[in-house]
Amino acid sequence: MSATARPPEGGAPSLGYPDRWQRRSTREALVQWLWLAGCALAAAWSVSSLDIEWAFFQDAHEQAADLLERMWPPRWSYLPRILEPMLDTIHIATLGTMIAVTLSLPVAFLAARNTTANGFTWMIGRAILVGSRSINTVIWGLVFVAIFGPGAVAGVFAVAARSVGFVAKLVAEAIEEVDAGQIEAVRATGAGTLQTWWVAILPQVLPVLVGTTVYRWDINVRESSVLGFVGAGGIGLLLYASINSFAWDQVLVVLLAILAVVFASEAFSAWVRGRIS
């Protein structure tokens, strides 16, 4: 896409424009290349200090072929055995989300600047948000398995612990952006703090609360499919057992089942969110 611009016949004096069109000036191009080089260096540093055993790369394709061969055909007779754990997985996600939503409302009011009591309570609210969100569901699973023992209860609490921060953060942001006029109007009728929250703020953040809840539920279905790896119930338990016994044809059946459930939950979540907005 380069066109050389010839000066018209008769030779008007050159105005100092370049002959070729360039998108960036030399300086801009240099800065851009420096950014790219920086990224490449960061990647190179990260990879080089990871102690990578390159020998493993040599037989990776053989391993892949071996894996596929052992997976096919899927052992469909395993399907009836995984229906119950699959249902448990959905229960873990749903019950965990329910607990999380219940707990996230007070936390959200605590962590929103316009409803929290003072700087100290705001800090508490924020600390709960950061603590809950920065630890992954599976790690929460490790913690709750140590407390409640292996089983679905640990999974429910792990899902709840991670989701509280997620839901509360988004609801708190919504609370900070509510229409102040409605709060004033309700307060002017003599309503107390709780009445103001219930009548003036909650209805305004309800769409965000419902949307976030359904969205998080959908993520939680995916997360609870692996909670069994740390002993926190659900389909992950059977998947882990199948992998450890190298029953790859069973693994494929479980993976297909997870895929089906995740698709269904995603479609449901998108449908509900579509109806709200």
Distances (CA, A) of 59 to 47, 62, 98: 20, 5, 47
Residues between 48 and 107 that touch another protein (CB under 8 A):
49-53, 56-57, 60, 63-64, 67, 87-88, 91-92, 94-95, 98
Cβ burial, residue 20 (10 Å; 0-12/13-18/19+): exposed
Answer positive or negative: Cα dihedral of 237, 242, 248, 249: negative
Residues between 7 and 46 that touch another protein (CB under 8 A):
23, 39-40, 42-43, 45-46
For another protein, the binding residue among 124, 187, 229, 249 (CB under 8 A) is: 229
For another protein, the binding residue among 79, 105, 185, 255 (CB under 8 A) is: 255
Q: DSSP state, 267?
A: H
**Contact between 193 and 262 (Cβ < 8 Å):** no
Identify which of residues 67 and 123 has a Cβ nearer to another protein in the complex.
Answer: 67
Neighbours of 57 (CB within 10 A): 9
For another protein, the binding residue among 115, 116, 163, 225 (CB under 8 A) is: 225
Span from 105-113, 114-122, 171-179, 227-235 in contact with another protein (CB under 8 A): 227-235
Neighbours of 76 (CB within 10 A): 11
**In the stretch 175-204, what mask flags binding to another protein with x, by CB under 8 A?**
-----------------------xx---x-
Residue 157 CB, nearest approach to another protein (Å): 9
**Contact between 228 and 240 (Cβ < 8 Å):** yes
Among residues 113, 100, 124, 121, the alpha carbon closest in space to that of 201 is found at 113
Applying CB under 8 A, what is the total number of residues that bind another protein?
Answer: 64
Identify which of residues 117 and 146 has a Cβ nearer to another protein in the complex.
Answer: 146
- 140/153 Cα distance (integer angstroms): 12
Residue 44 CB, nearest approach to another protein (Å): 8
**Contact between 252 and 71 (Cβ < 8 Å):** yes
Cβ burial, residue 219 (10 Å; 0-12/13-18/19+): buried
For another protein, the binding residue among 124, 247, 262, 272 (CB under 8 A) is: 262
Distances (CA, A) of 227 to 98, 103, 214, 275: 18, 21, 20, 31
218 binds another protein (CB under 8 A): no
143 binds another protein (CB under 8 A): yes
- Chain contacts with another protein (rule: CB under 8 A): 1, 23, 39-40, 42-43, 45-47, 49-53, 56-57, 60, 63-64, 67, 87-88, 91-92, 94-95, 98, 130-131, 133-136, 138-139, 142-143, 145-149, 151-153, 198-199, 203, 206, 222-223, 225-226, 229-230, 233, 239, 243, 255, 258-259, 262-263, 266
